[in-house]
Chain A
Amino acid sequence: MNKVVDNADTAVADIQDNATLGLGGFGLCGIPENAISALIRKGTKGLTCISNNAGVDDFGIGLMLKTRQVKKMISSYVGENDEFERQLLSGELQVDLIPQGTLATRLLASGYGMPAIFTPAGVGTEVALGKEVRNFNGKDYLLEYAFDIDFSIIKAWRGDTHGNLVFRKTSRNFNPLIGMAGKITIAEVEELVPAGDLDPDHVHLPGIYVHRIFKGHDYEKRIEQRTVRQS
């Protein structure tokens, strides 16, 4: 059950043009920095990226926008990115905006083997256009489908050779959900340990969902809004 690959370049080597990717992270917190860099080196084009956010101009998915590798973003919030805005307004980039909880739960459905979910988010709004509405116990819900993701790319704090993953603090966010939704899931970790070193009670995402794992390096872990108090 050894899932370890040498590095990010090996891990993403078979990702073809026009693939659908899922990428973990919330803002710049918990994003797969090494795999994004490898995709830029590889130059894969026409990507559809499912990710809560789209990075900033010079970091995260923003770097892949700059190199015109992304055809479509599926996200809940895409602010803080001038190049994104330019490509969207010029028609070079498509974007599907969906409510954050709907995004998370559609990913969950994919990982749980369920074709769809019902959620009240978006009822009565333009998000509901063209969608089936079902009433349960007097309240309306939208039918939303699970995702079909070719490659999921996620970042964990610690992982073992079997692909079991442990996340740290709020960098967990979408990572386990994206991770469970991919046909092929690639995990990069800050610390890679032998099977047996992680307490099975502490594993957040079981290795069955993870197909490739590698130890990342040179993490920048950029902070988007550094806020501090004086006392």
Chain B
Amino acid sequence: MLDKNGIARRIAHEIKSGMYVNLGIGIPTLVANYIPKGIDVVLQSENGLLGIGPFPMAGEEDADLINAGKQTITTIAGSSFFDSALSFGMIRAGKVDLTILGAMEVSENGDIANWKIPGKMVKGMGGAMDLVASARNIIVAMQHVNKAGESKLLTKCDLPITGLRCVKKIVTELAVLDVLPEGGFYLLERAPGVSVEHIRNSTAGKLIVPDVVPEMNPD
């Protein structure tokens, strides 16, 4: 079974040189820590930056330089700033190659719910609906089951939807799965020490299991 950093580390393998990538808040933010050396990637921050760098050294924080999670950051060489309309313009036009975000639920046809829980204070969708409606490739980082042990990979989302038929791949503490265009979660890899049976019991939506399901490489 993977912890949050393990999920982030596995997702980092999906990032290839030359990609422009948008990382959501939470586990997706951790992915930046595991992008292999030598991979030439530019991270987009939807508040208006291409080329997010590491956090600043203490004393070098700049109130005018933050990411979409409102954290102080730095820039890499070759970065650029722009306004919020251009930022979502490049997202909507499909210029961002990969979007990695968290989810509360994903359905077997790729619907995602990640912005609202009825009965709880609604904080807003931020840029999530824009990202999922337009991104060419969406990978979701999420827990396979909730705290009560109930599956979050469902036939149909119970929570209010953020976007329809958009998720392509899911990485959880238990598995890596593709969402097939015709519907269904296709089991690609098991987390270290996790059985296919465990994954089957934790997946409420349609699960497709090939004859051989390799254990993922944790590095």
Q: Which A residues fall within an 8 A CB radius of B? A: 26-30, 52, 75-79, 85, 88-89, 97, 99-105, 107-108, 119-127, 157, 167-177, 204, 221-229
Contact = CB atoms under 8 A, between A and B. Distances in A.
Interface string B97-120: 000000000000001000000000
Contact of B133 (A76, A79, A122): A122
B70 interface: yes
A56 B36 CA distance: 37
Contact of B85 (A157, A177, A225): A177
A108 B92 CA distance: 14
A9 B62 CA distance: 28
A120 B160 contact: no
Residue in A171, A174, A227 whose Cβ sees the most chain B Cβ within 10 Å: A227
Contacts of A222: 63
B48 A100 contact: no
A28 B81 contact: no
A77 B124 contact: yes
B207 interface: no
Nearest to A223: B63
Interface in B153-171: 160-164
B46 interface: yes
A124 B127 CA distance: 16
List the 10 shortest-distance A-B pairs measured between CB atoms, nearest first: A101-B88, A101-B130, A221-B63, A79-B123, A77-B124, A120-B133, A104-B84, A100-B127, A124-B164, A99-B129
Secondary structure class of chain B's binding surface, majority of residues: loop
Contact of B47 (A120, A167, A170): A170
Residue in A107, A121, A169 whose Cβ sees the most chain B Cβ within 10 Å: A121
A105 B72 contact: no
Given A101-B88, A228-B56, A229-B57, A29 B66 contact: yes
16 contacts: A79-B123, A100-B88, A101-B85, A101-B91, A105-B85, A107-B85, A124-B161, A125-B129, A170-B64, A172-B48, A177-B84, A177-B85, A221-B63, A223-B72, A225-B71, A229-B56
B26 interface: no
Interface in B49-70: 49, 54-58, 60-67, 69-70
B148 interface: no
B141 to A, nearest CB: 20
Given A168-B64, A174-B84, A228-B61, A97 B125 contact: yes
B130 A121 contact: yes
Contacts of A107: 85
Contacts of B63: 28-29, 171, 221-223
Contacts of A170: 45, 47-49, 64-67, 81
B81 A125 contact: no
Residue in A89, A108, A119, A173 whose Cβ sees the most chain B Cβ within 10 Å: A173
Contacts of B60: 228
B123 A100 contact: no
